[in-house]
Amino acid sequence: MVAPDDCPSQADYIKYFDDAIAVMQTESALERTAYELGIDSAAENIDYLEVRWAPRLHQRNGLSVSAVITAVLAGLDAAPLKAVAIVCAMRQDTPEDNVALAREAGRFAGRGVVGFDLAGDEVRYPASPQRPAFEAAHAAGLRLTCHAGEAGDPSSVEEALGLGVERIAHGVIGARDPRIVARIKSEGVVLDVCPTANWKCKAVPTLAEHPLPRLVRAGVRCTISTDSRTVADTTLSHEFELASAMGMSDEELERCNSIAYESKFG
């Protein structure tokens, strides 16, 4: 369940989610997993948690999308912190299926689901065809974010910006293009950066070369997160330790955490 340090690509890294997904195919398993994630996070002094996951990956035993979302929200509601959900569409799914997902997720707007996201293999599946799903999610009252900039070239980040998102998960490959960095900054889009996952996906060659310090000092609004605690084999505390090892000051780290509160969806 843990991706090795020498993953050759994002596509290879994603495969390590398969075993975890396989055992989360019942309502009780989904509720327990969400609850335990909340317990583990609270034990780390986290008081606000946004959980991203893809409901359509949990339908192997016949669960409806509504049942999947309901089970996860029940687990989060029972956890000892404020925890909300961001529903992820998958890039490999059809736009029609993702529009239906967005509309179903929108039924839970104001009841625990706060946002809509797109995840998956960036190289094989572009984001632009999924624009109708983002429009449906926005119309249903959900905030918008998108995974981009962890594989391929910087254009994937610009493609995500074209979907009307407020935040981008990762975005690090976009840091290679000054024009895209300038656009991210001017539009006030927040990058949710996950150093360990970025490195394991080979979006950055080494952690020492991660663009997070440079982006923060350029005025780009960034947060620090974990991606998957299990697959990345990390904690939020460890991600902050890695950012510190990159040369970021305590003030810069505090600013990232302040931005996380300022830009939260819940």
Q: Give me 103's structure tokens.
A: 């509309």
Q: Give me 129's structure tokens.
A: 């065809």
Nearest to 28 by CA among 70, 91, 56: 70
Active site residue 150: yes
| Active-site position among 31, 150, 159, 239 | 150
DSSP string, 64-110: -HHHHHHHHHHHHHHSSSEEEEEEEEETTS-HHHHHHHHHHHHTTBT
Which SS3 state, helix, strand or coil, does residue 169 take? strand
C-alpha span between 215 and 228 (Å, rounded): 22
C-alpha span between 32 and 137 (Å, rounded): 27
Which SS3 state, helix, strand or coil, does residue 118 take? strand
CB 16 within 8 A of CB 233: no
Nearest to 216 by CA among 244, 237, 179: 244
CB 261 within 8 A of CB 48: yes
C-alpha span between 31 and 87 (Å, rounded): 15
Positions marked active-site: 150
